[in-house]
Structure 1
């Protein structure tokens, strides 16, 4: 894989070039209830998953504005793919908040590794020598079939809750390699079926102490990863950036719907008394398209403005 840093505009154009392939694959992906491995491979080859990854592991260290630009294009091709892609991109940012040793675990031997999971702290981590053990099931792990690691939520007590969260139970993330968990196929839905949001199951899995990141640290922008790197990108509070993963698919879907409507009306003819006229020539149709385009553009621009002010 080429690890040369790609310019912002080139990365955007690579995302745009994927739209026809994503559209062609969308129906099959929904029926399969999973994004095709070849689609994930195409996203990886284009460098999409490196958008927020640290440069020292071959990433581009761009910003969340780039996530908006890139993932809204992916959404024009396939909304489910954009959902999975957005999480794959932004999870690289979350991993960058973990202690350096955890980042080395994930990317040291495989800089192209991607991570999926489920944030809900549904289980309590049990303290043991050198770390914790976890057992349980994490639902809604979108894209989990394609991850080399899982990012899972857990609750920590006692000394495990000492990272700015006060006494008692405190939530945090843990990183678990794919070899240590199984995937339970329980994702049967009508919408976003191709996200493959199945459950991840762990049975008495050991998590070393350096593979934990407390929610309080990543919410405050003062994570171990930021303290080690000093990079401003990794000091952004999590909820100021992570929503780009799950809002941009909607922006892309709206633009994709507009594009499909334009393609249809471009060749559509009227019937009845005005039979044979081009639908695209009707002022009412042109006005409706313009209004829809303005709504999508304004939504994207407001999003980008807010991110610039973060």
Structure 2
């Protein structure tokens, strides 16, 4: 395919394999900064600088602006290992990656403005009913307050969702690109886990957003979108929110792998307090370790297979049926379930030693507890929706 670069782009295109290698090379430094991230409840400055320097957030950025325009499966290659090293960094990176992916669908004028510096980081929150907008001359006036805006303090732009009030038709769900400097960031993030994600509330009050910096939800469901005049590759053809569960699922798998690795390290020479026997010699202990390993492998294989299949459909310019749309979301949620259940097994195996807040296994457990609550991998919601599709009932999730 011939790449058409934006007329403003004057840099070099990043390569997916280079980004994957660079992200893995960051892991030792990210681990060293975990306590700093937890203490300050945000990404350390050095970490956000590393993300910009390596360009890892540009994995799904279109080639037209120098991004890697990689395969969806490369998300797994990046997020799983980073989440094993620092869950909060992976969580923020997942947001930056997905929002870059979204921006490729915006009008080209918006892409040029956001990526005037191609290393810009974009945070966001896609909960529309917390924001209200009305159409005014040249754009929209947006107000609202949104929670859980992970990585917002380190970001340059933020995507907010709102409902546009319309007199003669149902309210329209729309997305708004806003400079982070225009937001009020409220200090609300005092969680039990993922402290370093800095997932604070943000608010705006009657802020003007030009028309070209907004996008209707209808352009995220597959098919035509304004950015298609420049970004025609297969990566941008799938419905956006159909694939959104892959990122938090990959993060959960990586977090649990990190927790599991630490458990295996702590198991060396560990003796039962009452009998002084090596706990690794207990058959039940061995069986549960095998179960964790199998669960994590199955979870990762499931989302990798879905990534490949989604890209194959996209390359063929196929239309995704309601069955397929709900299936991919359900599979991501199930992969997250497998990872969370594996984490519970590790938590049981570590025993009373996990009670110490200084034990990194306890931190992983808290991070997993928070991450697994993300709506994109909510098992009950997504399994129910796919169950409806299997029963030939209409979908109820408007994003699908």
TM-score (structure 1 length as normaliser): 0.88
- Say which SS state the counterpart of residue 33 (structure 2) adopts: helix
Distance verdict in 2 for CA 1:4–1:220, change over 3 Å = closer
2:124 aligned partner: 117
Say yes or no: does 1:6 pair with 2:15. yes
Q: Find the residue that maps to 1:113 and give its secondary structure.
A: coil
CA contact (8 A) 2:59 2:97 kept: yes
Aligned pair count?
A: 299
In the aligned structure 2, how far is the partner of 1:171 from the partner of 1:79?
Answer: 31
CA shift at 1:271, angstroms?
6.4
Match of 2:66 among 40, 54, 58: 58
Query: Structure 1 residue 69 and structure 2 residue 77: aligned?
Result: yes
Tell me the distance in 1 between the aligned counterparts of 2:182 and 2:161.
Answer: 15
Deviation at 1:95, TM superposition (A): 0.7
Give the distance between the partners of 1:290 and 1:20, measured in 2 at CA. 27
Q: Is the 8 A contact 1:23 1:77 kept in 2?
A: yes
CA offsets per residue over residues 58-114 of structure 1, 9 Å max, x none?
A: 210002211112101111012222111111111100011101000011002x11111
Q: In structure 1, what is the Cα distance between the partners aligned to 2:276 and 2:149?
A: 52
Q: How do residues 1-310 of structure 1 correspond to structure 2 at under 5 angstroms?
A: 3-8=12-17, 10-108=18-116, 110-121=117-128, 122-158=130-166, 167-268=169-270, 280=280, 285-310=285-310
1:266-307 CA deviation, whole Å, 9 max, x = no partner? Answer: 3445666666x6x55666544433321221111011111112
Gaps of 5+ in 1: 162-166
* TM superposition shift of 1:263: 1.4
Determine the C-alpha separation between the residues in 1 that align with 2:170 and 2:165. 5
Q: Give the TM-score taking structure 2 as reference length.
A: 0.69
Render the CA deviation track for 1:26-77: whole Å, top value 9, x for unaligned.
Answer: 2331221111121122222222101000112221000221111210111101
Alignment correspondent of 2:380: none
Please provide the CA RMSD for this pair. 2.2
Greater relative CO (CA pairs within 8 A, separation 6+): 1
Shift of the 210–4 alpha-carbon distance from structure 1 to 2, 3 Å rule, reads closer
